[in-house]
């Protein structure tokens, strides 16, 4: 059995954690620059407002109806997401974060009460983070998605729904419009409608030969999943892939400023590697450690992860996240001997979120590629570099093997593990 946890009205729920008086009231969260509605509370939906409604069009009517508006605060949402994921991770053997408000849950030890488990997990996430979540368990990911939809739609499930028998599967599929099935995009939906396929049940009951003749591999997989045959597996390769850039310093480093410079180097190296692999990352971890070989000094090791609002391959975005993490773990007065960053949750394509400024993302990508091209054509990897790097690791690098090109080719001294 696989579980799917999906936060209810996620952005709205994040705002409500800090504005509890807005529970059961209509709330709308707006996109970048307050362009349009991107998240609505059930009460706002009941008033007839929809996702995508332009703000200027609905502003007066919605205000008159008592709707509270929020400009999207995606830093807050990213942080709340990390908290939800932490709780889910503690309650599962393994989770796969699927989006800012969704994760698949793997439970290795079998239980005969998945419904109880799902309700328990939903209640625990709610208590720990304030975020309401709907959890579905089923034999496949696609069915688990459907189960979580039922958990969300019908309060009687108390946040947890299980699809585990042929009867329950048939009932759930009959009640699910085919367009709501995971993986059925708008284009495929149109084709399905031409064939008179309106519910998930219509799709699931077609014979396999027919499915194979009308659909591509994705469609066939979805059909199998609806019939209880697991066919969509996470890309384990990228799931567990990380890039680390770290360094032991020649002497202890005491100030945040020096670490900042070192982190600029780490971010430059890791992000370049990411771009070479044509990949984007969603998580950046920073770690620092004091010298564990010195008996008279305090021993300190700490690490902290930051989730990016949107996946990125940009040096500056990765550095920004790394510094945010570093700020949380940096303790003044200690001499740091080793530090580094690890980037993870790596994916092949950028994963913009609802507030993403796509034009800006593309511009940034082009800029980074230009920087790489210039640096690749020069003897130094840092002909063009991020300003805060300064002279990088020069002062804190070991210089006792002068045959290595410390000052001109930093790759020579940095360990990169992929």
Footprint of Mg ion (CB under 5 A): 6-7, 10, 101
Strand order in the sheet with 2-7: 94-99, 102-106, 2-7, 133-138, 160-162
- Say whether 353 sits in a helix, a strand or coil: coil
Q: Least Å distance between CB 7 and Mg ion?
A: 5
Q: Least Å distance between CB 32 and Mg ion?
A: 19
Closest CA to 142 of 115, 88, 89, 104: 104
Q: Least Å distance between CB 97 and Mg ion?
A: 13
Q: Which is nearer to Mg ion, 7 or 274 (CB)?
A: 7
Q: Which is nearer to Mg ion, 118 or 318 (CB)?
A: 118
Strand order in the sheet with 37-40: 37-40, 27-30, 68-71
Instruction: Give the Cα separation of 333 and 330 in Å (integer).
Output: 9
Q: Least Å distance between CB 51 and Mg ion?
A: 12
Instruction: Give the Cα separation of 303 and 89 in Å (integer).
Output: 18
Q: What is the DSSP string of 32-82?
A: GGG-BEEEE-HHHHHTT--TT-BHHHHHHHHHHTTPEEEE--HHHHHHHHH
Q: Which is nearer to Mg ion, 7 or 122 (CB)?
A: 7
Q: Least Å distance between CB 134 and Mg ion?
A: 8
Cβ–Cβ under 8 Å, residues 152 and 136: no
Q: Least Å distance between CB 200 and Mg ion?
A: 19
User: What are the phi and psi torsion angles at 107 (to 5°)?
Assistant: -115, 110
Q: Least Å distance between CB 6 and Mg ion?
A: 4
Q: Return the bridge partners of 105, or none.
A: 3, 95
3-state helix, strand, coil in the chain (%, to 5): 45, 20, 30
Q: Least Å distance between CB 8 and Mg ion?
A: 6
Cβ–Cβ under 8 Å, residues 284 and 308: yes
Cα 173 to chain center, whole Å?
A: 29
Q: Which is nearer to Mg ion, 285 or 310 (CB)?
A: 310
Closest CA to 133 of 114, 163, 158, 113: 158
Q: Which is nearer to Mg ion, 101 or 317 (CB)?
A: 101
Instruction: Give the Cα separation of 125 and 117 in Å (integer).
Output: 12
Tokens coding 58: 């609905």
Instruction: Give the Cα separation of 324 and 48 in Å (integer).
Output: 40
Q: Least Å distance between CB 133 and Mg ion?
A: 8
Q: Which is nearer to Mg ion, 220 or 354 (CB)?
A: 354
Angle CA 159–160–166, to nearest 5: 145
Q: Which is nearer to Mg ion, 121 or 267 (CB)?
A: 121
Q: Which is nearer to Mg ion, 49 or 215 (CB)?
A: 49
Tokens coding 175: 């009640």
Q: Which is nearer to Mg ion, 13 or 268 (CB)?
A: 13
- Say whether 286 sits in a helix, a strand or coil: strand
Q: Least Å distance between CB 162 and Mg ion?
A: 19
Q: Which is nearer to Mg ion, 15 or 101 (CB)?
A: 101
């Amino acid at each position: 059995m696989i579980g799917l946890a999906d936060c209810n009205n996620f952005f709205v729920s994040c705002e409500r954690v800090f504005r509890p008086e807005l529970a059961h009231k209509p709330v709308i969260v707006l996109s970048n620059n307050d362009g349009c509605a991107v998240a609505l509370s059930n009460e706002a939906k009941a008033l007839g407002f929809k996702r995508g409604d332009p703000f200027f069009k609905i502003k007066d009517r919605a205000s008159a109806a008592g709707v509270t508006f929020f400009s999207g605060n995606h830093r807050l949402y990213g942080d709340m997401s990390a908290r939800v994921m932490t709780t889910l991770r503690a309650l599962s053997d393994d989770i796969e974060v699927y989006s800012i408000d969704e994760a698949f849950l793997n439970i290795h030890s079998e239980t005969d009460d998945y419904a109880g488990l799902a309700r328990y997990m939903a209640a625990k996430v709610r208590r720990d983070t304030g975020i309401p979540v709907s959890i579905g368990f089923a034999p496949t990911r696609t069915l688990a998605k459907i189960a979580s939809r039922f958990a969300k739609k019908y309060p009687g499930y108390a946040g947890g729904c299980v699809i585990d028998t042929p009867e329950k599967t048939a009932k759930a599929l009959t009640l699910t419009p085919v367009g709501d099935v995971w993986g059925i995009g708008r284009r495929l939906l149109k084709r399905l409608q031409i064939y008179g396929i309106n519910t998930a049940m219509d799709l699931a009951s077609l014979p396999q030969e027919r499915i194979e003749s009308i659909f591509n591999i994705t469609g066939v997989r979805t059909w199998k999943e609806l019939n209880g045959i697991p066919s969509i597996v996470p890309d384990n390769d990228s799931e567990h892939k990380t890039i680390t850039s770290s360094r032991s310093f020649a002497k202890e480093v005491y100030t945040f400023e020096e670490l900042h410079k070192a982190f600029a180097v780490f971010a430059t190296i890791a992000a370049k590697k990411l771009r070479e692999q044509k990949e984007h990352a969603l998580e950046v971890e920073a770690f620092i450690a004091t010298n564990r070989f010195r008996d008279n000094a305090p021993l300190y090791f700490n690490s902290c992860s930051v989730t990016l609002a949107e996946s990125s391959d940009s040096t500056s975005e990765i550095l920004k996240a790394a510094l945010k993490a570093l700020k949380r773990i940096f303790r003044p007065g200690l001499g740091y001997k080793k530090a580094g960053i690890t980037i993870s949750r790596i994916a092949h394509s950028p994963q913009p979120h609802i507030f993403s400024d796509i034009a800006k993302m593309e511009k940034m990508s082009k800029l980074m590629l230009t920087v790489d091209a210039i640096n690749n054509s020069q003897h130094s990897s840092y002909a063009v570099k991020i300003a805060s790097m300064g002279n990088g690791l020069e002062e804190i690098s070991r210089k006792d093997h002068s045959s290595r090109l410390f000052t001109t080719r930093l790759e020579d001294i940095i360990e990169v593990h992929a």
